[in-house]
Chains A and B, each alone.
Chain A
Amino acid sequence: MKKVLSICLFEIRRTFKKKSAFVLMFGMPLLFTFLFGSMFGNDTAVSFRIALVDEDQTSLSKDIIHKLMLDEMITYELVAASEAKELLANKEVQGIVRLEKGIATKLRNEEPAISFQPSPGMATAPLVKQQVNQAMQGVDVYVEAAQVGSLYFNESWESVYERLTENEGQIQVWTEQKTSTSTGNPMMGISYSSAGFSIMFVMIMMLSMTGILLEARQTGIWLRLFTTPVTRLQVMLGYFLSFFIVGWIQFFLLILLSSTLFDVNWGSPVALFLLVTALLLCVVGLGIAIAGFVKTVEQQNAIGTLVIISTCMLGGVYWPISMVPDAMQKIANFVPQTWAMEGFTTLITEGGTIGDILMPIAMLLGFAAIFLSVGLSRMKAV
């Protein structure tokens, strides 16, 4: 046990000797949190201001406008075309949504009837577009229903549409659906980014930590260790413990810093501790697994960074996962970050307790078990 601790403490000292470690561990995540977080505004739901131009001026277009305006994430300003241009030029709105003339015909022919023009160079353009599209999907459903209905009732589809939408209850259903899909992540902004970038940079840090195993191989330190009377188990435990502790120090300080700098409230400490522990096990496991398949530290870095960045994207680390198509959301279930983010959002926004995050914790531990067993068996083979 003494030897395990010696190895562990030595590696921790070695890690914190590098100045670059501090930048990677704390500087970068805080910077990214700040940049991304402020882009989305404060912790309230994201709000975009969009100019809305009604060129059609029919009851249908008015109805669509009414539905668009129900959306929580986007604030629409109903304005004339010229004014819209001006607002966009003055950067007072992030884009213009235009309901084109003859919208009824166009919709029926499945031609594009609504155009979106984002403000040039706006980083969040895809997000807004996504949001507008989502709002439009609801309208589409009614249009389709009205079309089918018009065949049956032998009347113009506009009147069927009107009758359909007159029914408050149905509109209610529609709006409820909309809100329920977005309540999964009403948290955006700083809190969301804090959790996301803490995860990402802890992963990157753990990747570089597990690189120690490869480095030791390359430098002959690994072999020399085994000329001394230490066992394989002691060496692996020592390394593992050092990865884990460094990961914990990083997470703990990030939590501390983000709650003082950005007022992020991370929720129940005990639940947070368990969640972070499960996440670290999983992330260290991933690092070891990757290390098991490559020969050099450089290879591990290249492959690992690729894996981390892409899975972070899938797992909703940069933006809420509800913003991506359904198929992607399904794939995301196979990415540990998804579960980590779910756990963190539950704790941060809903004041969740341990009971609420059992599922994310279990999933993370499951990933950890898979990664660790793959990694350790590869380590043995090499």
Chain B
Amino acid sequence: MLTLSNVKKGFGAHEIIKGISFQVEKGESFGLLGPNGAGKSTLISMICGLLPYGAGEILINGKLVGRHLKETKQIIGVVPQDIALYPTMSALDNLIFWGRMYGLSGNTAKTRAKEVLEEVGLTERAKGRIETFSGGMKRRINIGAALMHEPQLLIMDEPTVGIDPQSRNHILETVKTLNEQGMTVIYTSHYMEEVEYLCKRIAIIDDGKLIVSGTQRDLSNRLAGGRVLKLTVDSLRPSFIEQLKQLNGVEKVIVQPAEEIDVHLQSEMEIVSDVILLASRSGIAIHNMQLKEANLETLFLQLTGRSLRE
């Protein structure tokens, strides 16, 4: 369905995307994870043909994006990160307009708009103007506009930013259903839970590079024992940190600002008591201690030394 090979992009001297490759198969749900500024939106802009890419290749159904823009754009439905709708027009009018832009005839667009309103659960608000909608409702119409032409590939750029839990659940449900009905989905987020819930396969990008990709199971295997012990201490004395690294079962120690230490643990080994013992022997007070279970968040932490969300 979608193939990226060694895609690069720079703005001026800045290289924003530094050679990314991955594949998305037909019918898959693919999660693209990364912190703010990782390059997710930039990558999506290139896939949907808004931005020319600097190097590499992007193929959609075997068609090179850039050379067959009209065809590739017709295959994709894009949900932009920002709400791009006409505030003074009704939900129905907005949907019909975007349908027309995808080449639907007047009547088809009208019928489709009603179906889409049903899908996103806003049939009763069809005639309401977008500016009178809540943030969550706007997001739902924003998604709906990308569904008008029943795209083969749905690309969503953080579709749940800043909305209430109810709308969020509704959106997640909708996307899951669409995927189960056969639509290929690329879902971008920095919310782990959403990606874990929706996506079979996941790619994590940071600073324009693909750090890791694979199915959730693959990643979990890589995480075997990938727990992290987060410590908040009163002093980051180097000798203490050295000794921490020497402890049995510690894979890596990363010092964070604000007197925080992330201790990455190797396996299921019990180590907490050892850490406490070491601290008290070195005369260091532990203000707070937190054991984080292995998940995408801790994997990200492990791989980059930074947390996914600030």
Residues of A participating in the B interface, judged by any CB pair closer than 8 Å:
2-3, 6-7, 10, 13-14, 17-18, 219-221, 223-230
Partner of B80, one of A6, A224, A229, A230: A224
Question: Is there an interface contact between B101 and A223, defined as CB atoms closer than 8 Å?
Answer: no
Q: Count residues on chain B whose CB falls below 8 Å from chain A CBs.
A: 28
CA of A220 to CA of B82, assembled, Å: 7
Q: Can you sample 9 A-B contacts with CB below 8 Å? A: A13-B89, A14-B86, A17-B89, A219-B82, A224-B78, A227-B49, A228-B73, A229-B71, A229-B103
Asked if B83 is at the interface (CB within 8 A of a chain A CB), the reply is yes
Partner of B84, one of A10, A14, A219: A219
Asked if B76 is at the interface (CB within 8 A of a chain A CB), the reply is yes
Closest residue of chain B to A17, judged by CB?
B88
| Complex interface: chain A residues within 8 A of B76 (CB) | 227
| Complex interface: chain A residues within 8 A of B87 (CB) | 219
Given A18-B88, A228-B73; A223-B102 close (CB under 8 Å): no
| Complex interface: chain A residues within 8 A of B97 (CB) | 6, 10
Question: Is there an interface contact between B74 and A6, defined as CB atoms closer than 8 Å?
Answer: no
| Complex interface: chain B residues within 8 A of A225 (CB) | 101
| Complex interface: chain B residues within 8 A of A6 (CB) | 97, 100-101
Given A3-B100, A3-B101; A224-B84 close (CB under 8 Å): yes
Partner of B83, one of A13, A220, A227, A228: A220
Question: Is there an interface contact between B50 and A227, defined as CB atoms closer than 8 Å?
Answer: yes
Interface centre among A2, A3, A224, A227 (most CB of B within 10 A): A227
Partner of A3, one of B48, B50, B103: B103
Q: Which of B118-148 contact A (CB under 8 A)?
A: 145
Partner of B89, one of A14, A227, A228: A14
Partner of A221, one of B49, B74, B86, B88: B86
Q: Mark B40-63, 1 if CB is under 8 A from A, else 0.
A: 000001001110000000000000
Which 6 pairs from chain A and chain B are nearest by CB? Answer: A224-B84, A220-B84, A228-B101, A6-B100, A227-B78, A229-B73
CA of A228 to CA of B72, assembled, Å: 9
| Complex interface: chain A residues within 8 A of B84 (CB) | 219-221, 223-224
CA of A324 to CA of B4, assembled, Å: 67
Nearest Cβ on chain B to A184's Cβ, whole angstroms: 45
Interface centre among A10, A17, A223, A228 (most CB of B within 10 A): A228
Known: A13-B89, A219-B82, A229-B74. 18 other contacts (CB 8 A): A3-B101, A3-B103, A6-B100, A10-B93, A10-B97, A14-B89, A18-B88, A220-B80, A220-B82, A220-B83, A223-B84, A224-B80, A224-B98, A224-B145, A227-B48, A227-B50, A228-B102, A229-B102
Asked if B281 is at the interface (CB within 8 A of a chain A CB), the reply is no
CA of A7 to CA of B100, assembled, Å: 9
CA of A5 to CA of B98, assembled, Å: 13
Nearest Cβ on chain B to A70's Cβ, whole angstroms: 59
CA of A313 to CA of B301, assembled, Å: 66
SS of A interface (majority): helix
CA of A224 to CA of B48, assembled, Å: 10
| Complex interface: chain A residues within 8 A of B78 (CB) | 224, 227
| Complex interface: chain B residues within 8 A of A221 (CB) | 84-86
Nearest Cβ on chain B to A303's Cβ, whole angstroms: 24
Given A3-B101, A229-B102; A14-B80 close (CB under 8 Å): no
CA of A229 to CA of B145, assembled, Å: 14
Asked if B67 is at the interface (CB within 8 A of a chain A CB), the reply is no
CA of A225 to CA of B49, assembled, Å: 11
Q: How many A-B residue pairs have CB under 8 A?
A: 63
CA of A290 to CA of B73, assembled, Å: 31
Question: Is there an interface contact between A226 and B103, defined as CB atoms closer than 8 Å?
Answer: no
| Complex interface: chain B residues within 8 A of A220 (CB) | 80, 82-84
Question: Is there an interface contact between B88 and A229, defined as CB atoms closer than 8 Å?
Answer: no
Closest residue of chain B to A222, judged by CB?
B84
Asked if B70 is at the interface (CB within 8 A of a chain A CB), the reply is yes
Partner of A227, one of B71, B80, B85, B103: B80
CA of A18 to CA of B71, assembled, Å: 37
Interface centre among A3, A224, A226 (most CB of B within 10 A): A224
Given A2-B100, A220-B82; A14-B74 close (CB under 8 Å): no
| Complex interface: chain A residues within 8 A of B88 (CB) | 14, 17-18
CA of A7 to CA of B102, assembled, Å: 12
Closest residue of chain B to A219, judged by CB?
B84
Partner of B50, one of A7, A219, A226: A226
Question: Is there an interface contact between A230 and B101, defined as CB atoms closer than 8 Å?
Answer: yes
CA of A230 to CA of B80, assembled, Å: 17
Nearest Cβ on chain B to A2's Cβ, whole angstroms: 7
| Complex interface: chain B residues within 8 A of A219 (CB) | 82, 84, 87
CA of A224 to CA of B86, assembled, Å: 12
CA of A219 to CA of B80, assembled, Å: 11
CA of A13 to CA of B94, assembled, Å: 12
Nearest Cβ on chain A to B186's Cβ, whole angstroms: 13
Question: Is there an interface contact between A223 and B74, defined as CB atoms closer than 8 Å?
Answer: no
| Complex interface: chain B residues within 8 A of A17 (CB) | 88-89
| Complex interface: chain A residues within 8 A of B86 (CB) | 10, 14, 221
Closest residue of chain A to B97, judged by CB?
A10
CA of A54 to CA of B103, assembled, Å: 81
| Complex interface: chain B residues within 8 A of A223 (CB) | 45, 50, 80, 84
CA of A14 to CA of B131, assembled, Å: 13
Closest residue of chain A to B78, judged by CB?
A227
| Complex interface: chain B residues within 8 A of A10 (CB) | 86, 89, 93, 97
CA of A223 to CA of B46, assembled, Å: 12
Nearest Cβ on chain B to A198's Cβ, whole angstroms: 27
CA of A228 to CA of B80, assembled, Å: 12
Closest residue of chain B to A225, judged by CB?
B101
Closest residue of chain A to B94, judged by CB?
A10
CA of A140 to CA of B242, assembled, Å: 102
| Complex interface: chain B residues within 8 A of A2 (CB) | 100, 103
| Complex interface: chain B residues within 8 A of A18 (CB) | 88
Q: Which of B252-307 contact A (CB under 8 A)?
A: none
Closest residue of chain A to B45, judged by CB?
A223
CA of A80 to CA of B103, assembled, Å: 82
CA of A212 to CA of B46, assembled, Å: 26
CA of A6 to CA of B110, assembled, Å: 13
Nearest Cβ on chain A to B156's Cβ, whole angstroms: 12
Nearest Cβ on chain B to A53's Cβ, whole angstroms: 62
CA of A229 to CA of B100, assembled, Å: 10
